[in-house]
Structure 1
Amino acid sequence: MGDLWIGNIEPNTTEDEIKDFLCRYGFPPFDTIERVEGTGERPAVVLGFNGVEPHVLRTLQPRVHNMFWKSRALVVQVMPGRDET
């Protein structure tokens, strides 16, 4: 399972908008979404992709990192793998 962090996302962006945006750039549909509000200045989401390894997400990440979307420059990072044992 791979996780993708998208920071500086426009706060009112819907799950469907995020999914459509990423699929347009070759990402598979995500399985989970967690919103991270932080201080409110640069909200983020963490997307979980079941069955997609982090190295696959790393090949796709440059397609959207630093992209200007919905009046904001996105910060997109692949999260380090979690040890679930």
Structure 2
Amino acid sequence: MGELWIGNVEADVTPEEIKAFLGKYGLPPFDAIQYVPGSGDRPAVILTYENIDADTLRTFQPRIHNLFWKNRSIVVQVVPTRSEN
């Protein structure tokens, strides 16, 4: 399982809009989404991919990191793999 954090997104962006945007850059559809309000005007989302690991997500990250989307420059990071302990 891998997770992708996308920061500085519009707070009201829909999962469908995110899937369409990511699909244009060759990213596969995510399995779950979590909205993170953050502080100030920089909300984020965490996308979960059940069958894609963090290393594979790192190959996709440069395709969308720092792109201008919906009047904002987005920041994309792969969430480090969490320990089950």
TM bucket, shorter chain: over 0.9
Tell me the residue number matched to 1:59.
59
> Could you tell me how far 1:61 is from its partner in structure 2?
0.3
Tell me the residue number matched to 1:70.
70
> Could you tell me how far 1:10 is from its partner in structure 2?
1.0
Superposition map of 1:16-55 within 5 A: 16-55=16-55
- Structure 2: give runs of 5+ residues left out of the alignment: none
1:5 aligns with 2:5: yes
CA distance in 2 between partners of 1:23 and 1:53 (Å): 18
> Could you tell me how far 1:46 is from its partner in structure 2?
0.3
Sequence identity percentage: 56
The list of structure 1 runs, each at least 4 consecutive aligned residues, that deviate by more than 3 angstroms after superposition, is: none
> Could you tell me how far 1:40 is from its partner in structure 2?
3.8
- Structure 1: give runs of 5+ residues left out of the alignment: none
* SS in structure 1 at match of 2:80: coil
> Could you tell me how far 1:6 is from its partner in structure 2?
0.2
| RMSD, matched Cα | 0.9
Q: What TM-score, normalized to structure 1? A: 0.95
> Could you tell me how far 1:38 is from its partner in structure 2?
1.3
Q: What TM-score, normalized to structure 2? A: 0.95
CA distance in 2 between partners of 1:12 and 1:38 (Å): 13
